[in-house]
Amino acid sequence: MFIINTYATAVSFCLVTMLCWGSWANTQKLAAKQWRFELFYWDYVLGILLTALVFGLTLGSTGSAGRGFVADMRQADAAAVGSAVLGGIIFNAANILLVAAIAIAGMSVAFPVGIGIALVCGVVVNYLGNPLGNSTLLFLGVGLVVVAILLNAFAYRRAAAGTQTVSSRGLLLAVVAGLLMGFFYKYVAASMFPDFTVPEAGKLSPYSAVFCFAGGVLLSNFLFNTLLMRRPFSGAPVGYADYFRGSGRSHLMGLLGGAIWCVGMAFSIIASGKAGAAISYGLGQGATVVAAVWGIYIWKEFKNAPPGTPLIINGMLLCYLGGLALIIAAH
Protein backbone atom coordinates (compact mmCIF):
# COMPACT_ATOMS: atom_id res chain seq x y z
CA MET A 1 0.00 0.00 0.00
CA PHE A 2 1.05 3.60 -0.48
CA ILE A 3 2.45 5.32 2.64
CA ILE A 4 4.04 8.71 3.39
CA ASN A 5 7.72 8.88 4.37
CA THR A 6 8.29 12.57 5.26
CA TYR A 7 6.62 15.18 7.46
CA ALA A 8 6.60 17.71 4.60
CA THR A 9 4.59 15.31 2.44
CA ALA A 10 2.25 14.66 5.36
CA VAL A 11 1.62 18.40 5.72
CA SER A 12 0.88 18.69 1.99
CA PHE A 13 -1.63 15.85 2.32
CA CYS A 14 -3.25 17.67 5.25
CA LEU A 15 -3.55 20.81 3.12
CA VAL A 16 -5.43 18.77 0.51
CA THR A 17 -7.66 17.54 3.33
CA MET A 18 -8.26 21.15 4.37
CA LEU A 19 -9.30 22.11 0.83
CA CYS A 20 -11.58 19.08 0.44
CA TRP A 21 -13.26 19.38 3.83
CA GLY A 22 -13.75 23.11 3.33
CA SER A 23 -15.16 22.81 -0.19
CA TRP A 24 -17.49 19.80 -0.28
CA ALA A 25 -20.43 21.81 1.11
CA ASN A 26 -20.48 23.87 -2.09
CA THR A 27 -22.15 20.87 -3.71
CA GLN A 28 -25.00 21.21 -1.20
CA LYS A 29 -25.27 24.92 -1.97
CA LEU A 30 -25.42 24.15 -5.69
CA ALA A 31 -28.22 21.63 -5.15
CA ALA A 32 -30.08 23.55 -2.44
CA LYS A 33 -32.61 25.38 -4.64
CA GLN A 34 -34.33 22.19 -5.74
CA TRP A 35 -33.08 19.57 -3.34
CA ARG A 36 -33.62 19.27 0.43
CA PHE A 37 -30.46 18.55 2.39
CA GLU A 38 -31.96 15.37 3.90
CA LEU A 39 -32.27 13.95 0.37
CA PHE A 40 -28.88 15.33 -0.68
CA TYR A 41 -27.33 13.54 2.28
CA TRP A 42 -28.17 10.04 1.01
CA ASP A 43 -26.08 10.58 -2.11
CA TYR A 44 -23.38 12.27 -0.03
CA VAL A 45 -23.03 9.14 2.13
CA LEU A 46 -22.93 6.87 -0.92
CA GLY A 47 -20.19 9.08 -2.37
CA ILE A 48 -18.12 8.57 0.80
CA LEU A 49 -18.48 4.78 0.69
CA LEU A 50 -17.69 4.43 -3.03
CA THR A 51 -14.64 6.70 -2.77
CA ALA A 52 -13.33 4.77 0.26
CA LEU A 53 -13.64 1.55 -1.75
CA VAL A 54 -11.77 3.10 -4.70
CA PHE A 55 -8.93 4.19 -2.39
CA GLY A 56 -8.71 0.69 -0.94
CA LEU A 57 -8.57 -1.01 -4.33
CA THR A 58 -6.00 1.45 -5.76
CA LEU A 59 -3.54 3.10 -3.33
CA GLY A 60 -4.39 0.56 -0.64
CA SER A 61 -3.49 -2.35 -2.94
CA THR A 62 -0.27 -1.11 -4.55
CA GLY A 63 3.35 -1.15 -3.41
CA SER A 64 5.22 -3.46 -1.08
CA ALA A 65 4.72 -1.58 2.19
CA GLY A 66 2.15 -2.52 4.77
CA ARG A 67 -0.60 -5.00 3.89
CA GLY A 68 -2.91 -4.99 0.86
CA PHE A 69 -6.52 -3.84 1.24
CA VAL A 70 -8.28 -7.17 0.59
CA ALA A 71 -5.87 -9.19 2.73
CA ASP A 72 -6.11 -6.59 5.46
CA MET A 73 -9.91 -6.73 5.55
CA ARG A 74 -9.86 -10.54 5.74
CA GLN A 75 -7.58 -10.65 8.79
CA ALA A 76 -9.12 -7.73 10.74
CA ASP A 77 -10.57 -8.56 14.15
CA ALA A 78 -13.96 -7.41 15.41
CA ALA A 79 -12.50 -4.86 17.85
CA ALA A 80 -10.58 -2.97 15.14
CA VAL A 81 -13.49 -3.02 12.69
CA GLY A 82 -15.90 -2.00 15.44
CA SER A 83 -13.71 0.96 16.44
CA ALA A 84 -13.60 2.31 12.86
CA VAL A 85 -17.36 1.72 12.41
CA LEU A 86 -18.04 3.53 15.69
CA GLY A 87 -16.01 6.46 14.39
CA GLY A 88 -18.28 6.50 11.32
CA ILE A 89 -21.42 6.48 13.45
CA ILE A 90 -20.22 9.37 15.63
CA PHE A 91 -19.12 11.32 12.56
CA ASN A 92 -22.46 10.81 10.86
CA ALA A 93 -24.43 12.03 13.87
CA ALA A 94 -22.23 15.14 13.96
CA ASN A 95 -22.11 15.76 10.24
CA ILE A 96 -25.84 15.49 9.68
CA LEU A 97 -26.31 18.21 12.30
CA LEU A 98 -23.60 20.26 10.60
CA VAL A 99 -25.32 19.95 7.21
CA ALA A 100 -28.57 21.08 8.85
CA ALA A 101 -26.71 24.07 10.33
CA ILE A 102 -25.32 24.92 6.88
CA ALA A 103 -28.83 24.85 5.43
CA ILE A 104 -30.08 27.21 8.16
CA ALA A 105 -27.13 29.49 8.92
CA GLY A 106 -24.82 29.24 5.90
CA MET A 107 -21.28 27.94 5.32
CA SER A 108 -19.52 30.97 6.76
CA VAL A 109 -21.20 30.36 10.14
CA ALA A 110 -21.75 26.61 10.46
CA PHE A 111 -18.15 25.72 9.57
CA PRO A 112 -16.22 28.17 11.75
CA VAL A 113 -18.37 27.45 14.80
CA GLY A 114 -19.02 23.72 14.34
CA ILE A 115 -15.69 22.64 12.89
CA GLY A 116 -13.80 25.08 15.08
CA ILE A 117 -15.20 23.39 18.19
CA ALA A 118 -14.45 20.01 16.59
CA LEU A 119 -10.85 21.10 16.01
CA VAL A 120 -10.39 22.07 19.64
CA CYS A 121 -11.95 18.86 21.00
CA GLY A 122 -10.29 16.67 18.36
CA VAL A 123 -6.78 18.01 18.89
CA VAL A 124 -7.04 17.57 22.66
CA VAL A 125 -8.53 14.06 22.45
CA ASN A 126 -6.11 12.84 19.77
CA TYR A 127 -3.09 14.37 21.49
CA LEU A 128 -3.94 12.58 24.74
CA GLY A 129 -4.18 9.33 22.78
CA ASN A 130 -0.91 9.91 20.90
CA PRO A 131 1.12 12.83 22.36
CA LEU A 132 3.24 13.64 19.31
CA GLY A 133 4.43 17.25 18.93
CA ASN A 134 5.14 20.36 21.02
CA SER A 135 2.17 20.72 23.37
CA THR A 136 2.80 24.44 24.00
CA LEU A 137 2.65 25.40 20.31
CA LEU A 138 -0.18 22.98 19.67
CA PHE A 139 -2.45 24.39 22.36
CA LEU A 140 -1.51 28.00 21.61
CA GLY A 141 -2.75 27.29 18.09
CA VAL A 142 -5.93 25.80 19.49
CA GLY A 143 -6.37 28.93 21.63
CA LEU A 144 -6.28 31.16 18.55
CA VAL A 145 -8.90 28.93 16.95
CA VAL A 146 -11.14 29.45 19.98
CA VAL A 147 -10.82 33.22 19.54
CA ALA A 148 -11.74 32.81 15.87
CA ILE A 149 -14.86 30.82 16.80
CA LEU A 150 -16.02 33.55 19.19
CA LEU A 151 -15.41 36.27 16.60
CA ASN A 152 -17.40 34.38 13.96
CA ALA A 153 -20.33 33.74 16.30
CA PHE A 154 -20.37 37.43 17.23
CA ALA A 155 -20.33 38.48 13.56
CA TYR A 156 -23.20 36.13 12.77
CA ARG A 157 -25.35 37.44 15.61
CA ARG A 158 -24.81 40.99 14.29
CA ALA A 159 -25.75 39.94 10.77
CA ALA A 160 -28.79 37.96 11.96
CA ALA A 161 -30.30 40.80 13.99
CA GLY A 162 -34.07 40.63 13.61
CA THR A 163 -34.06 36.89 12.88
CA GLN A 164 -33.18 35.72 16.37
CA THR A 165 -34.92 32.33 16.20
CA VAL A 166 -33.14 31.18 13.07
CA SER A 167 -29.84 32.56 14.33
CA SER A 168 -30.04 30.66 17.61
CA ARG A 169 -31.09 27.42 15.94
CA GLY A 170 -28.27 27.51 13.40
CA LEU A 171 -25.65 28.28 16.05
CA LEU A 172 -26.96 25.61 18.42
CA LEU A 173 -26.86 22.90 15.73
CA ALA A 174 -23.30 23.93 14.80
CA VAL A 175 -22.16 23.77 18.45
CA VAL A 176 -23.64 20.29 19.05
CA ALA A 177 -22.19 19.07 15.74
CA GLY A 178 -18.76 20.36 16.71
CA LEU A 179 -18.79 18.68 20.12
CA LEU A 180 -19.61 15.32 18.51
CA MET A 181 -17.25 15.83 15.58
CA GLY A 182 -14.26 16.18 17.87
CA PHE A 183 -14.43 12.52 18.93
CA PHE A 184 -14.88 10.46 15.76
CA TYR A 185 -11.26 10.60 14.53
CA LYS A 186 -9.79 9.01 17.64
CA TYR A 187 -11.78 5.79 17.09
CA VAL A 188 -10.63 5.51 13.48
CA ALA A 189 -7.01 6.11 14.54
CA ALA A 190 -7.34 3.49 17.32
CA SER A 191 -8.40 0.83 14.79
CA MET A 192 -5.10 1.05 12.85
CA PHE A 193 -1.62 -0.33 13.46
CA PRO A 194 0.47 2.73 14.47
CA ASP A 195 3.47 2.12 12.20
CA PHE A 196 2.00 1.79 8.70
CA THR A 197 5.13 -0.05 7.50
CA VAL A 198 4.74 -2.80 10.13
CA PRO A 199 1.30 -4.45 10.00
CA GLU A 200 -0.13 -5.88 13.23
CA ALA A 201 -2.41 -8.90 13.35
CA GLY A 202 -6.06 -7.92 13.73
CA LYS A 203 -5.44 -4.19 13.25
CA LEU A 204 -6.44 -2.21 10.14
CA SER A 205 -4.40 -0.38 7.53
CA PRO A 206 -5.39 3.27 6.95
CA TYR A 207 -7.28 2.28 3.78
CA SER A 208 -9.25 -0.49 5.51
CA ALA A 209 -9.97 1.85 8.42
CA VAL A 210 -11.44 4.50 6.11
CA PHE A 211 -13.58 1.86 4.38
CA CYS A 212 -14.95 0.49 7.69
CA PHE A 213 -15.53 4.07 8.83
CA ALA A 214 -17.54 4.70 5.65
CA GLY A 215 -19.56 1.56 6.35
CA GLY A 216 -20.44 2.96 9.78
CA VAL A 217 -21.58 6.20 8.16
CA LEU A 218 -23.86 4.35 5.74
CA LEU A 219 -25.38 1.99 8.32
CA SER A 220 -26.11 4.77 10.82
CA ASN A 221 -27.64 6.91 8.10
CA PHE A 222 -30.65 4.57 7.91
CA LEU A 223 -31.45 5.61 11.48
CA PHE A 224 -30.26 9.22 11.69
CA ASN A 225 -31.38 10.50 8.31
CA THR A 226 -34.68 8.61 8.35
CA LEU A 227 -35.54 10.30 11.66
CA LEU A 228 -34.53 13.66 10.24
CA MET A 229 -36.63 13.15 7.11
CA ARG A 230 -39.68 12.52 9.28
CA ARG A 231 -38.96 15.28 11.82
CA PRO A 232 -36.80 17.88 10.01
CA PHE A 233 -35.24 20.88 11.76
CA SER A 234 -36.68 23.13 9.06
CA GLY A 235 -39.41 22.62 6.46
CA ALA A 236 -41.98 19.89 5.88
CA PRO A 237 -41.20 16.15 6.27
CA VAL A 238 -39.91 14.32 3.19
CA GLY A 239 -40.10 10.64 2.19
CA TYR A 240 -38.04 8.13 0.24
CA ALA A 241 -40.29 8.66 -2.77
CA ASP A 242 -39.04 12.26 -2.90
CA TYR A 243 -35.48 10.96 -3.18
CA PHE A 244 -36.25 8.86 -6.24
CA ARG A 245 -37.94 11.83 -7.91
CA GLY A 246 -34.72 13.83 -7.82
CA SER A 247 -32.94 14.86 -10.99
CA GLY A 248 -29.66 13.33 -12.16
CA ARG A 249 -27.88 16.60 -11.43
CA SER A 250 -29.17 16.65 -7.83
CA HIS A 251 -27.97 13.09 -7.20
CA LEU A 252 -24.63 13.86 -8.83
CA MET A 253 -24.06 16.84 -6.53
CA GLY A 254 -24.50 14.61 -3.47
CA LEU A 255 -22.19 11.91 -4.80
CA LEU A 256 -19.58 14.54 -5.69
CA GLY A 257 -19.83 16.11 -2.23
CA GLY A 258 -19.25 12.74 -0.55
CA ALA A 259 -16.34 11.93 -2.86
CA ILE A 260 -14.65 15.26 -2.14
CA TRP A 261 -15.05 14.80 1.63
CA CYS A 262 -13.73 11.21 1.52
CA VAL A 263 -10.64 12.23 -0.44
CA GLY A 264 -9.91 14.61 2.42
CA MET A 265 -10.52 11.91 5.04
CA ALA A 266 -8.29 9.38 3.27
CA PHE A 267 -5.46 11.92 2.88
CA SER A 268 -5.75 12.89 6.56
CA ILE A 269 -5.60 9.28 7.76
CA ILE A 270 -2.66 8.49 5.46
CA ALA A 271 -0.82 11.59 6.74
CA SER A 272 -1.45 10.68 10.40
CA GLY A 273 1.17 7.94 10.22
CA LYS A 274 3.92 10.54 9.88
CA ALA A 275 2.36 13.69 11.41
CA GLY A 276 0.45 12.11 14.30
CA ALA A 277 -3.32 12.04 14.70
CA ALA A 278 -3.61 15.35 16.58
CA ILE A 279 -1.68 17.41 14.03
CA SER A 280 -3.20 15.63 11.03
CA TYR A 281 -6.71 16.17 12.32
CA GLY A 282 -6.04 19.73 13.44
CA LEU A 283 -4.60 20.79 10.09
CA GLY A 284 -7.45 19.17 8.19
CA GLN A 285 -9.91 21.19 10.22
CA GLY A 286 -8.33 24.30 8.76
CA ALA A 287 -11.17 23.57 6.34
CA THR A 288 -12.99 26.16 8.41
CA VAL A 289 -10.99 28.94 6.74
CA VAL A 290 -11.67 27.53 3.28
CA ALA A 291 -15.41 27.20 3.97
CA ALA A 292 -15.59 30.68 5.48
CA VAL A 293 -13.91 32.16 2.39
CA TRP A 294 -16.41 30.37 0.15
CA GLY A 295 -19.33 31.58 2.25
CA ILE A 296 -18.15 35.16 2.66
CA TYR A 297 -16.64 35.99 -0.72
CA ILE A 298 -18.38 33.62 -3.16
CA TRP A 299 -21.84 33.06 -1.68
CA LYS A 300 -21.97 36.58 -0.12
CA GLU A 301 -23.55 35.33 3.11
CA PHE A 302 -22.64 38.55 4.98
CA LYS A 303 -23.49 41.04 2.23
CA ASN A 304 -26.25 42.71 4.32
CA ALA A 305 -24.32 42.69 7.58
CA PRO A 306 -24.00 45.90 9.66
CA PRO A 307 -20.94 48.17 9.25
CA GLY A 308 -17.89 46.82 11.02
CA THR A 309 -18.77 43.16 10.45
CA PRO A 310 -16.13 42.68 7.69
CA LEU A 311 -13.45 43.76 10.18
CA ILE A 312 -14.62 41.08 12.62
CA ILE A 313 -14.66 38.45 9.86
CA ASN A 314 -11.14 39.33 8.73
CA GLY A 315 -9.96 39.10 12.33
CA MET A 316 -11.55 35.66 12.54
CA LEU A 317 -9.69 34.49 9.43
CA LEU A 318 -6.36 35.84 10.72
CA CYS A 319 -6.81 34.04 14.05
CA TYR A 320 -7.57 30.80 12.25
CA LEU A 321 -4.53 31.13 9.99
CA GLY A 322 -2.30 31.95 12.96
CA GLY A 323 -3.66 28.96 14.86
CA LEU A 324 -3.03 26.64 11.95
CA ALA A 325 0.54 27.93 11.57
CA LEU A 326 1.24 27.12 15.22
CA ILE A 327 -0.28 23.64 14.84
CA ILE A 328 2.06 22.97 11.87
CA ALA A 329 5.05 24.26 13.87
CA ALA A 330 4.11 22.02 16.82
CA HIS A 331 5.73 19.02 15.16
How does DSSP assign 141-194, residue by residue?
Answer: HHHHHHHHHHHHHHHHHHHTTT-HHHHHHHHHHHHHHHHHHHHHHHHHHHTB-S
Tell me which of 84 and 325 has the higher pLDDT: 84
**Mean pLDDT of all residues in 211-232:** 96
Q: Is the dihedral of CA 290, 291, 295, 299 positive or negative?
A: positive
Q: How far apart are the first and last CA of the chain?
A: 25
pLDDT greater than 70 at residue 213? yes
Q: pLDDT band at residue 166, thresholds of 50, 70 and 90? A: very low
| pLDDT of 164 over the 50 cut | no
What percentage of residues in the chain have a pLDDT greater than 90? 51
Q: Say if residue 167's pLDDT is above 70.
A: no
Average pLDDT of span 75-89:
97
- Which amino acid would we find at residue 240? Y
Q: What is the pLDDT of residue 295?
A: 77
Treating both helix axes as pointing N-terminal to C-terminal, what angle do 248-275 and 277-284 enclose, rounded to 10 degrees?
Answer: 140
The helix (run of H) or strand (run of E) holding residue 116 is helix 116-129
What is the domain partition of the chain in residue ranges?
7-329
More confident residue, 275 or 113: 275
This prediction has a pTM of 0.85
Q: Which residue has the higher pLDDT, 287 or 210?
A: 210
Does the structure show a pLDDT above 80 at 160? no
Question: Inter-axis angle of helices 116-129 and 135-159, to 10 degrees?
Answer: 160
Mean pLDDT for the stretch of residues 104-123: 78
More confident call, 19 vs 119: 19
**Percentage of the chain exceeding pLDDT 70:** 95
